Amino acid sequence: MSELLLCAKHLTKRFGGLAAVNDVSVDLHRGRIHAVIGPNGAGKSTLTNLLSGDLPPTSGQIDLNGQSITGRSPERIARQGLGRSYQKTNIFLPFTVWENVRLAAQSRERHAAFNPLHWFSAAGKLSAVNQRCERALELAGLTARANTVAAAISHGEQRQLEIAMTLATEPTVLLLDEPLAGMGAAEAESMVALLQRLKAEHAIMLVEHDMDAVFALAEVLTVMVNGQVIASGTPVEIRNDSGVQAAYLGE
């Protein structure tokens, strides 16, 4: 049995009269990529925002690593092990790749300052943070770019950097909203390879329009249309689902 890291039940988010997410349940397991697909406006980004705490759900529950996180702040949820990327990047372009990752890693350290024990081990902590950053860069395939300013790396590498920045906070669950958006074939290929590397240690929810990537990577797919789940299953089940073909894949 693989480890269940995030469990969301009956999530609904209403914006006025619109149910952007309507009674959606999602389980994320370590070692699996769970893809969420659907046409524009289906509610995929809203679902991501509910899981990360960026939006409070109208109803429903979310457990992360066995603890309820429903209604908690994004900062608190991040400290409990959830990392996410955004459709728009958070990168500081004038800073180097290393500096960007280092800043992201540090964002998790803020609260340690209140623990007097940490004052006596500042040097040890510093090297632990640096090690975390080195590992994040290595996983993201950016070690050779560490000292390059972020503005000078390619679009594909910037997307990899964004993932490295997320990894530097040591999440167990990763929510990735369209990591392949705007990529050429070669860039998409290295992102797919990166996601394969991340799979072993993480539970991943992948919102993505690139169906080749989705079917190459995902163990489980959820198809959303108009806020609702119209099908959920293995890639083979989803490919053969006539409702999915009519509503989405065939369009």
> By the criterion CB under 6 A, which residues form the site for ligand ADP?
15, 18, 20, 38, 40-46
Distance CA 108, CA 171 (A): 11
Report whether 50 contacts 207 (CB < 8 A).
no
Report the partner that residue 41 touches, choosing among ligand ADP, Mg ion, none (CB closer than 5 to 8 A by kind).
ligand ADP
Judged by beta carbon, residue 86 or residue 215, the one nearer ligand ADP is 86
Whose tokens are 């209403």? That residue is 14
Least distance in angstroms from the C-beta of 82 to ligand ADP: 18
Sign of CA dihedral 64, 138, 122, 95: negative
Judged by beta carbon, residue 97 or residue 224, the one nearer ligand ADP is 224
CA dihedral in degrees (174, 131, 99, 106; nearest 10)?
A: 70
Least distance in angstroms from the C-beta of 221 to ligand ADP: 14
Least distance in angstroms from the C-beta of 207 to ligand ADP: 7
Judged by beta carbon, residue 10 or residue 197, the one nearer ligand ADP is 10
By CB under 5 A, name the one of 22, 45, 49, 85 that touches Mg ion.
45
Report whether 203 contacts 5 (CB < 8 A).
yes
Distance CA 214, CA 235 (A): 9
Smallest Cα–Cα separation from 28: which of 5, 54, 1? 5
Report the partner that residue 15 touches, choosing among ligand ADP, Mg ion, none (CB closer than 5 to 8 A by kind).
ligand ADP
Distance CA 16, CA 24 (A): 18
User: Using the rule CB under 5 A, is 52 a contact of Mg ion?
Assistant: no
Judged by beta carbon, residue 36 or residue 137, the one nearer ligand ADP is 36
Whose tokens are 């290393």? That residue is 98
Judged by beta carbon, residue 43 or residue 83, the one nearer ligand ADP is 43
- DSSP assignment of 197-246: HHHTT-EEEEE-S-HHHHHHH-SEEEEEETTEEEEEE-HHHHHT-HHHII
**Chain residue at closest Cβ approach to Mg ion:** 45
Least distance in angstroms from the C-beta of 238 to Mg ion: 19
As beta bridge partners, residue 177 has 207
Least distance in angstroms from the C-beta of 203 to Mg ion: 20
Report the partner that residue 38 touches, choosing among Mg ion, ligand ADP, none (CB closer than 5 to 8 A by kind).
ligand ADP
Judged by beta carbon, residue 44 or residue 102, the one nearer ligand ADP is 44
Judged by beta carbon, residue 50 or residue 136, the one nearer ligand ADP is 50
Report the partner that residue 172 touches, choosing among ligand ADP, Mg ion, none (CB closer than 5 to 8 A by kind).
none
Smallest Cα–Cα separation from 247: which of 79, 39, 29? 39
- Of how many residues is the chain composed? 251
Binding site for Mg ion (CB under 5 A): 44-45
